[in-house]
Amino acid sequence: MTAVTLSKLLNKANKYNYAIAGLVVLGWEDALAFVEAAEQTKIPIILQAGPSCRAHTPIPVLGKMFRHLADQTKIPICCHIDHSYTLKECKEGIDSGFTSVMYDGSKLSLKENIKITSKIAKITKSYNVSLEGEVGLVGYHKGINSEGTTLFEAKKFSNESGIDAMAISVGNTHLQTSKIAKIDYNKIKQIEKLSNIPLVLHGSSGISYNLRKKIARNTKVAKFNIGTELRMIAGESLKDNIKKNKKTFDRLQLIKPTVKNITKATIKVIQNIGPKK
């Protein structure tokens, strides 16, 4: 199936009260596992190429890889650039076949964030590509602190930036290895009253399964970004394979078995927040 836009997936998710997982890709193996999980469950997913992924593999290569995987399945797959910080990065993603891009201007002033995001929105619309923006800084575990999204920021940004999806900061944190996030559920409900576009929660590995499901079923949050949770599964699986096969030097033989474990964990993630059976 041809890759689909973020808007197509998230608008449908909002309509039927579920959410889609934005799955953070680092390489071929996890991308393959994510798509296999989508096929087994018949649930759409978003393949995401974040900064660390793009630093390791060129965007044009990632674009071809993502589109190849999307073309091999009948399940809708969105090919998404996550956390781009310049118009140039967004444009390269569009030119490389991505169906969605995120411009992250959350570290800028609200005025500057809207100015740059709206400029990028004009470009994405001309290419029929979706645009995700962020207002209110989502921080990092043991790193920069979060700056929660205010109601004023949410309303103004959603109305003036031209985005198709809005990432918000309500207690979520990137790179969280434990499910201890204290999400301001009431703030989500307040924000959704001010905006009619789908909402996004980055750093969702830190949110418990029960809370993710509650948010997916009862709010306009239509996208949960999941990276660390599945990256931990991949890393532990790889370490186990190395311990069990100390004489094996072929890295492909060591990495390939991780796909099965990543797939199993991904199925649990996407079923939890996905369409009701």
Strands 100-103 and 165-168, by their bridges, are: unpaired
Please name every residue paired with 224 in a beta bridge, in sequence order, or none if there are none.
21, 201
Question: Does any domain span residue 211?
Answer: yes
Mean pLDDT for 19-28 is: 97
Please state the separation of Cα 88 from the chain's center in Å.
20
Ramachandran area for residue 142 (φ above 0: left; ψ -120 to 50: alpha; else beta): left
- Calpha distance 50→69 (Å, rounded): 17
On whether residue 246 sits in a domain, the answer given is yes
Q: What is the pLDDT of residue 253?
A: 86
Tell me if 145 is assigned to some domain: yes
Residue 240 inside a domain? The answer is yes
What is the pLDDT averaged over residues 50-54?
94
User: What is the value of pTM for the model shown?
Assistant: 0.94
Residues marked as catalytic: 82
Instruction: Please give the Cα distance from 267 to 38 (Å, whole number).
Output: 7
Give the DSSP letter of residue 220: S
Tokens of 134: 């962020």
Residue 1 lies in a domain: no
Distances (CA, A) of 129 to 22, 82, 144, 162, 239: 16, 14, 30, 12, 39
- The CATH number covering residue 256 comes to 3.20.20.70
Is there a contact between 165 and 223 (Cβ–Cβ < 8 Å)? yes
Q: Is it the case that residue 227 has pLDDT exceeding 70? A: yes
Sign, CA dihedral 47-53-55-59, equals negative
70-84, 171-185, 197-211: the lowest-pLDDT one = 171-185
pLDDT, tens digit (0-9, with 9 covering 90-100), for 117-171 = 999 999 999 999 999 999 987 867 666 666 788 999 999 999 999 999 999 999 8
What is the DSSP-derived secondary structure letter of residue 205? G
What are phi and psi for residue 4, nearest 5 degrees?
Answer: -115, 165
Q: Give the chain's domain count.
A: 1
Give the span between the Cα atoms of 270 and 20, in whole angstroms. Answer: 7
Read off the pLDDT of residues 229-243 as tens digits, 9 standing for 90 and up. Answer: 999 999 898 898 888
**Mean pLDDT in residue range 217-234:** 95
Query: Token pair 């891009």 is at which residue?
Result: 101
C-beta separation of 19 from 274 below 8 A: yes
Of 124, 132, 140, the residue nearest 157 (C-alpha): 132
User: How does the average pLDDT of the chain come out, rounded?
Assistant: 93
pLDDT digits (tens, 9 = 90+) for 70-83: 999 999 999 999 99
- Secondary-structure breakdown of the chain: helix, strand, coil percentages, each rounded to the nearest 5: 50, 15, 35
Q: Which domain holds residue 14?
A: 6-273
Is 22 inside any structural domain? yes
For residue 52, which amino acid is it?
S
Place of tokens 């996550």: 82
Tell me how far CA of residue 21 lies from CA of 118, 174, 224, 249, in angstroms: 25, 15, 5, 34
* Residue 214 parent element (H or E): helix 209-218
Q: Is residue 92 part of a domain?
A: yes
- Report yes or no: 152 and 135 within 8 Å, Cβ to Cβ: no
Mean pLDDT on 60-71: 97
pLDDT at 31 over 70: yes
